[in-house]
Amino acid sequence: MLRASIIAVALILTGVQVALAANPLAYRVSLAPTGNTGLDAALAATAVLRTLRGTAPVGPFGLIVRARTDVDRLKTVLDSFGYYQGSVTITIDGRSLADPRLPDDLARLPKGHDAAVAVGFALGPLYRLGRISIDGQVPPFARAVLGLRPGEPAVAAAVLAGAARLRTALEDRGYAFARVDPPVATLDDPQRVLDLSFPVVTGPRVRIGAISIEGLKRVRARFVRSRLPLRRGESYSPAAIGRARTALVDIGVFSAVSVHVGKSPDAAGGVPITFVVRERPRHAVSINAAYSSDLGGSGGVTWTDRNVFGHAERLSVSSAVTNIGGSSTTGLGYDVSAKLVKPEFGDRDQSMQFAVTAVKQSLVAYDQTALTTGATLVRKLSADWTANVGVTAAHELIVQPPTSPLQRRYTLIELPIGLEYDSTNLASPLQYPLRGMRNSLTVTPTRSIGPPSATFVITQLKLAGYLDLHRFGWTRPGRSVLAARALAGLAQGAGEFSLPPDQRFYGGGSGTIRGFRYQGVGPVFPKTTTPIGGSAIIAGSLEFRQRFGNHWGAAVFTDAGQVSASLKPLPSVLRVGIGAGIRYYTPIGPIRVDFAVPAKRYSPYDDPYEIYVGLGQAF
């Protein structure tokens, strides 16, 4: 009987270097289909005749050598898929590679003629798995982990995956030094089966030993240890160690976190674990800018202290000039804020945020000058769910319409309560979402001290979903994405004019309905084009995003919605905007330029088009 070891798929995919000839020979390659999509893809990826055709030209002799090399490489692929009696045949212009006259005939080919390289396959019978055994003493649970069954095709990738699952399962049960060697395979040609034996040495079952943290400078060691969901004496588990590393990364003060696991247990049966961290620079300065034809330009600077007191407290101070031109603005504005985030506020999964903001806006809808202070408690419920509750106080001066001599001062006390769901698994909202959802529900009871005074509740529901069309096999991963969003908002307890103007809903702009100017959708004052705002909004968007090459992309979209005095599932009149844009992808997020037009202009106030420039996708 023939004894053989399963060959790792990685060896199949390695490249072969061939010396360049003095006179490169142009050629084309065709691979005959086998009827197995996975096998065809592996063969195409392995054939250096195909992968090096455009990047490594060869002469006649070099082409023959390359083809002969591919015979062995492609035969290895057939073996890895269970076709151990398969064969590979390669011809050049219909001639065998063994033809002694082939090099000279190829050298005499006329200029502009491409040599035709044809690769054919004879699969032969498909071998299947036979007896599957483990050579070594293992716990009972381990035998079921392989996931391999007699009668299945003898595919190398599946066999190697089973060995990896076995080792991972042993490690997760505390066998930190378990060794699972490559399986020994025995071919039974008459039966067309492959018998497998997995050599396994479990080693001792151990626990987590001493935990060390190296590389700390300003960050306090006690704080870092409190963030670790890992304790000495626990059963050893690579998954638990990985979660501990992720917890340190999520603190936000380390640029790198690596883990070193001891190579042997200590006298007490514990494995030492060392986390090596590198702290990020304490201070950072960032500059931001944006432009849209409705809100004009804006630009600002943000200064950040990532570790104020040594416990990863984050202080951000930002200042921006806004409303530089724009069809929905009447003058310059500003936005100045300071925000302090205190992690582990009462619990490792909670943080407290304190914020102070000063804002001035000169908009077509109203003029506003406001000072806002607030505190928000944020609770991480799970990997995807987050809850928050807070209190905010604001004092503001508002003029509506902006040309009116009447100024109204409001003092607002808000108690926002929110719930968020994010399954996109992205660290930053600026990154490009390919799958998952981002949803939020916010309910804000508010007391407004006017005049007029009012008590009301504002509820907002935001939904956004992302679908990579690769899921259906239509495109490559991450190249084509369908994105959708929906927004519904309702203010209850106060009439439209009892609500302070900045608490009302307005439609239009990149956040709701592109193609209509900011605050351009909704009720207006009689005989004017000045927006009033409404007590309800409903809006939705559908966007197709396509990437080209490494850095460029494009999008087409349609937005629709309406603002009114009451929430309606299907408003009688929907404002619809359509548009397209380009994207340039950077490490921190895509730079976005969108052009949108209203499907129908309902009033002279509607602009013929809008342009939006910013960082990150629209949603």
Per-residue pLDDT tens over the stretch 252-308: 899 999 999 998 888 888 999 999 999 999 999 999 999 999 999 999 999 999 999
Residue 606 CB neighbours (<10 A): 20
Q: pLDDT for 588-619, tens place per residue?
A: 889 999 999 999 988 777 889 999 999 889 99
Average pLDDT of the residues of the chain: 90
Question: CA-to-CA distance for 514 and 575, rounded, in angstroms?
Answer: 10
Residue 463 CB neighbours (<10 A): 17
Structure confidence at residue 17 (pLDDT): 36
How big is the CA angle at 452 (ends 446 and 458), to the nearest 5 degrees? 25
Say which CATH class 128-201 falls into: alpha beta
- Please name the amino acid found at residue 325: G
* Rg, C-alpha atoms of the chain: 33
CA distance from start to end of the chain = 62
Contacts (Cβ under 8 Å, ≥6 apart) of 204: 175, 177, 265, 269
- Per the rule left: phi > 0, alpha: psi between -120 and 50, beta: everything else, 289 is beta
> Where exactly does CATH 3.10.20.310 map onto the chain?
128-201, 207-279
Are 399 and 419 within 8 A, CB to CB? Answer: no
Banded model confidence at residue 187, pLDDT cuts 50, 70, 90: confident
Burial class from Cβ neighbours inside 10 Å (0-12, 13-18, 19+) for residue 327 reads middle
Q: Which of 408-417, 421-430, 564-573 has the lowest mean pLDDT?
A: 564-573
Specify the CATH number for 207-279; select among 3.40.50.20, 3.50.50.60, 1.20.1050.10, 3.10.20.310: 3.10.20.310
Beta bridge partners of 555: 545, 581
Percentage of the chain lying above the pLDDT 90 cut: 71
- Please name the amino acid found at residue 461: L
Are 516 and 577 within 8 A, CB to CB? Answer: yes
Structure confidence at residue 96 (pLDDT): 94
Are 7 and 77 within 8 A, CB to CB? Answer: no
Location of structure tokens 């530089």: 324
Topology adopted by domain 283-615: Porin (2.40.160)
Residue 488 exposure: Cα atoms within 13 Å on the Cβ side: 10
Question: CA-to-CA distance for 261 and 594, rounded, in angstroms?
Answer: 50
Banded model confidence at residue 570, pLDDT cuts 50, 70, 90: low
- Against a cut of 0.75, is the pTM above it? no
538 pLDDT exceeds 90? yes
> Where exactly does CATH 2.40.160.50 map onto the chain?
283-615
Are 217 and 307 within 8 A, CB to CB? Answer: no
Q: pLDDT for 480-527, tens place per residue?
A: 999 999 999 999 998 777 889 999 999 999 999 999 999 989 888 887
Question: CA-to-CA distance for 9 and 160, rounded, in angstroms?
Answer: 9
Strands 115-122 and 27-31: parallel
Structure confidence at residue 174 (pLDDT): 92
Structure confidence at residue 3 (pLDDT): 34
